[in-house]
């Protein structure tokens, strides 16, 4: 009977059989309520860290839940060192233009189904770094663009320290997030 269920049916069935509300399961699993609702309606399929957190909260193995996904089971391999490396890889923006997006994106693409936590963390890192890049380089373009028309709203020598502050702020944020990963905290890189 169980093998004919989809992953959303299975999670809903397990949640109800344990007497959990959606809110209680989301809180116990440490995931967003909206994410759980999308999973239970079949709008999204849990992967990586989300799948692991749900399995733990429902007291079943990841393999039991991943049987209901039409792909190969997600690995339960733990590698906190890789998660820290992926986080620190965003620092490459100091040496490679847009390295803060490209390098973590490559780590995410190649390891998201192989190492626990990479799927969620990689998505958060890439999203955060895209937003940071758009804001940082957008400010630079807006400040430089009027100079092409002979107008200057801000002294270029004042703009350099402002841009440097953006870079330093991102560096500090990456280091703090990596330290949180080292301590086993899951909620790093704000979900955007």
Give the burial string for 16-41 (b: 16+ CB within 10 Å, else e).
eeeebebeebbebbebeeebbeebbe
Residues of the chain with pLDDT under 70: 1-5, 68-78, 147, 152-156, 186, 190-192
Q: What is the residue extent of each domain of the chain?
A: 2-66, 80-182
2-66: CATH number: 1.10.260.40
Contacts of 177 (CB under 8 A, 6+ apart): 87, 188, 189
Query: In this structure, how many other beta carbons lie within 10 angstroms of the beta carbon of residue 72?
Result: 8
d(CA 126, CA 176): 16
pLDDT for residue 3: 44
Give the whole-number percent of the chain exceeding pLDDT 70: 86
Buried-exposed string 152-180: b where 16+ CB fall within 10 A, e elsewhere:
eeeeeeebeeeeeebeeebeebbeebbee
The whole model's pTM is what? 0.58
pLDDT for 106: 93
Rg, C-alpha atoms of the chain: 21
User: What integer pLDDT is reported at residue 102 of this predicted model?
Assistant: 95
d(CA 173, CA 179): 10
Q: Is 63 strand, coil or helix?
A: helix
Q: What is the pLDDT of residue 133?
A: 94
Query: What's the pLDDT at 77?
Result: 60
């Amino acid at each position: 009977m169980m093998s004919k269920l989809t992953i959303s049916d299975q999670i809903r069935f397990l949640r109800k059989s344990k007497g959990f509300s959606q809110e209680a399961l989301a809180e116990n699993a440490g995931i967003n309520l909206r994410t759980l609702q999308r999973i239970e309606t079949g709008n999204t399929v849990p992967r990586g860290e989300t799948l692991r957190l749900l399995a733990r909260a429902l007291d079943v193995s990841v393999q039991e839940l991943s049987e209901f996904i039409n792909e190969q089971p997600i690995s339960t391999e733990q590698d906190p060192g890789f998660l820290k490396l992926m986080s620190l890889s965003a620092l490459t923006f100091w040496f490679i233009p847009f390295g803060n997006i490209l390098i973590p994106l490559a780590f995410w693409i190649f390891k998201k189904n192989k190492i626990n936590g990479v799927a969620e963390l990689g998505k958060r890192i890439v999203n955060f770094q895209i937003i940071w890049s758009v804001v940082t380089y957008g400010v630079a373009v807006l400040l430089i663009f009027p100079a092409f028309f002979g107008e200057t709203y801000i002294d270029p020598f004042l703009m350099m320290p402002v841009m440097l502050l953006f870079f330093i702020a991102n560096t500090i944020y990456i280091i703090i997030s990596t330290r949180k990963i080292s301590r086993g905290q899951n909620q790093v890189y704000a979900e955007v």
